[in-house]
Amino acid sequence: MSYTASSNRYEQMEYRRCGNSGLMLPAVSLGLWHNFGDIDSMDKARDILRTAFDHGITHFDLANNYGPPPGSAEKNFGQLFKADFLPYRDELIISTKAGWKMWEGPYGDWGSRKYLVASLDQSLKRMGLDYVDIYYHHRPDPHTPLEETMSTLDLIVRQGKALYVGISSYQPAEAAKAIAILRELGTPCLIHQPKYSMFERWVENGLLDVLEREGVGCIPFSPLAQGMLTNKYLKGVPTDSRAASHRGNGAMEEDQVTPEKLDKVKRLNVLAEQRGQSLAQMALAWVLKDPRITSVLIGASKPEQVTDSLQCIKNYQFSSEELALIEGILR
């Protein structure tokens, strides 16, 4: 059945400027890390993408290794893009990344020019795109000079294969150096994608300050601590959870779900209910409360999770008492 996007899709979303750039991103973006691989349902994937775009989510975030198997999320997205979203290409921000192991041998990992250029060519082919809107280096490479990695991102923009570039999982000092190199080359760093949630706070130790000072956007991944900050774990580890399924690909392991953490989840849930939010909505709102955050990345295994998550936009203001309560629980 052919797809026509909702005519009021832009009325229900808030858009935020990405650092000092001209680009606006939706406050909530859709990540395709899980649920778009070959082991997943294409029909469900289609429903998730359509629901997201119908509600003003214009940004779809991928990486070369998303699946499983690696590459399958891009391939499946490419099929759905061609069938449904081709007429809307100029309304979409599509990103991908390279930096983790993608193929055998010395040229399929890390941050060399050889790997980054080859990987993006493969990604574009899988997705059926002429260019991506944002291309990220997925993680720092201790073996390759940062100048080589950053000059490759600059080259890729000059070749027209990406409009903007970003970095992911770089620590504050590394990020500052990468941002400086890119600025000198004439291709500013648009955005940084770090792991950030109530349970993962490292970005507060300098990274957000660097991004604010340098005019770079921030789009956290795993804001729900891979499902921990949802109602799913209120009664322990459910059989259908990521922790129980051991899917790999960086997914959460069962031993990360400690009694102490479950106690924090229950106490946070009480506060969320007092705010008229689900735990997931409050956890997303808590990340979005910081003006230095451009957008927050959600994953979804069904369309209802997309619409449920979007409710976070309605209230991301926290009183000082609420923030103090949250800090007390997290300590």
* pLDDT tens, position by position, 1-20: 899 999 999 999 999 999 99
Rounded to an integer, what is the distance from CA 281 to the centroid of its chain? 16
Evaluate whether residue 253 is within a structural domain.
no
Question: Residue 195: which pLDDT band, with cuts at 50, 70 and 90?
Answer: very high
| pLDDT for 240 | 65
Evaluate whether residue 5 is within a structural domain.
no
- What does the pLDDT look like over 99-138, one tens digit per residue? 999 999 999 999 999 999 999 999 999 999 999 999 999 9
- What does the pLDDT look like over 222-275, one tens digit per residue? 999 999 999 988 887 766 665 555 445 555 566 678 899 999 999 999 999 999
Q: What is the DSSP string of 226-272?
A: GGTTSGGGTTS--TTSHHHHT--TTPPPGGG--HHHHHHHHHHHHHH
Evaluate whether residue 250 is within a structural domain.
no
Evaluate whether residue 306 is within a structural domain.
yes
Evaluate whether residue 277 is within a structural domain.
no
Evaluate whether residue 176 is within a structural domain.
yes
- In this structure, what token pair is assigned to residue 36? 């778009």
Evaluate whether residue 191 is within a structural domain.
yes
| pLDDT for 245 | 55
Please tell me the pTM assigned to this model.
Answer: 0.95
Question: Residue 175: which pLDDT band, with cuts at 50, 70 and 90?
Answer: very high
Residue 220 belongs to domain with CATH number: 3.20.20.100
How many domains are there within the chain?
Answer: 1
| pLDDT for 246 | 47
- What does the pLDDT look like over 20-74, one tens digit per residue? 999 999 999 999 999 999 999 999 999 999 999 999 999 999 999 999 999 999 9
Give 104-167 as a 3 state SS string: CCCCCCCCCHHHHHHHHHHHHHHHCCCCEEEEEECCCCCCCCHHHHHHHHHHHHHCCCEEEEEE
| pLDDT for 157 | 99
Cα(157)–Cα(165) distance, integer angstroms: 8
Evaluate whether residue 122 is within a structural domain.
yes
Residue 45 belongs to domain spanning: 15-228+287-314
Q: β-strands 24-26, 162-168: how paired?
A: unpaired
Give the residue, 287 or 244, on which the prediction is more confident: 287
